[in-house]
Amino acid sequence: MDTAPNHKQHNSPSFLDNYWDLVGGVLLLGLTFFMKHNHYPDTLVLIVVSLAIIFLSITVSEVAEILAERLEEPYGSFVLTITAVVVEIILLFSILQQSVNSPEAIETVRGGIISAVIVDMNVLLGLAVFIGGLTFKEQEHNEDTSSSYTTILYVAALALLVPSILGNSNHSADIVLKASYIIGFVLVLFYLAILVFQTRTHEDFFKATAKSRIFRMKRRRGESEDDGHENYIFDRLPTAVNFLVIFVLIFLIGVSAETFAHVGMGVFKSFGISAGLAGLVIAIISVSPEIFTAVKAAKNDQIQRVINIAMGASTVSILLTVPALLLLGYMFKMPLTLNFNPLEIGALVFTIILAWKTTDNGETNYFEGISHLILFISYAVIASLY
Task: For the domain made up of 3-385, give the CATH fold.
Answer: A middle domain of Talin 1 (1.20.1420)
Among 214, 210, 207, 356, which residue's Cα sits nearest to residue 296? 214
The helix-helix angle for 125-135 and 275-299 (nearest 10°) equals 30
Query: In the prediction, which pLDDT does 205 show?
Result: 67
Displacement of CA 285 from its chain's centroid (Å) = 9
Provide the β-strand partners of residue 139. Answer: 364
108 CB neighbour count, 10 Å cutoff: 30
Q: At what angle do helices 303-316 and 105-118 cross, to 10 degrees?
A: 150
Q: Where are the domains of the chain?
A: 3-385
What is the rounded CA–CA span in Å between residue 375 and residue 122? 7
Residue 94 near residue 261, CB atoms below 8 Å: yes
Q: What is the pLDDT along the chain (386 residues), one digit of tens a residue?
A: 444 444 444 455 677 778 889 999 999 999 999 999 999 999 999 999 999 999 998 898 888 878 877 876 556 667 766 777 888 899 999 999 988 888 888 999 999 999 999 999 999 999 999 999 998 888 888 888 888 899 999 999 999 989 988 887 878 889 999 999 999 999 999 998 988 887 777 777 666 654 444 444 444 444 444 444 557 888 888 888 988 998 899 889 988 998 999 899 889 888 888 888 888 988 888 888 888 888 888 998 888 888 888 888 888 889 999 999 999 999 999 999 999 888 888 899 999 999 999 998 888 999 999 999 999 999 999 888 87
> Which residues lie closer than 8 Å to 315 by C-beta, 6 or more apart?
81, 149, 152, 153, 156, 191, 194
Amino acid at 369: G
Enter the pTM of the model: 0.83
Sign for the CA dihedral angle at 378, 338, 77, 66 comes to positive
Contact criterion met (CB below 8 Å) for 355 and 121: yes
CB count in 10 Å sphere of residue 19? 18
Residues with Cβ < 8 Å from 131, sequence gap 6 or more? 295, 298, 299, 366, 369
| Whole-angstrom distance, CA of residue 48 vs CA of residue 36 | 10
Q: What pairing do the DSSP bridges indicate for beta strands 139-140 and 363-364?
A: antiparallel
Residue type, 258: E
Q: State the pLDDT at residue 76.
A: 66
Left, alpha or beta for 170 (phi > 0: left; psi -120 to 50: alpha)?
left
What local confidence, expressed as pLDDT, does residue 7 receive?
A: 43
Q: Are 141 and 303 in contact (CB under 8 A)?
A: yes
Nearest alpha carbon to residue 299 among 366, 224, 226: 366
229 three-class SS = coil
3 state DSSP class of 268: helix
The answer to whether 121 touches 314, Cβ cutoff 8 Å, is yes
Q: CA 382 → CA 140, 241, 260, 378, distances in Å?
A: 33, 44, 24, 6
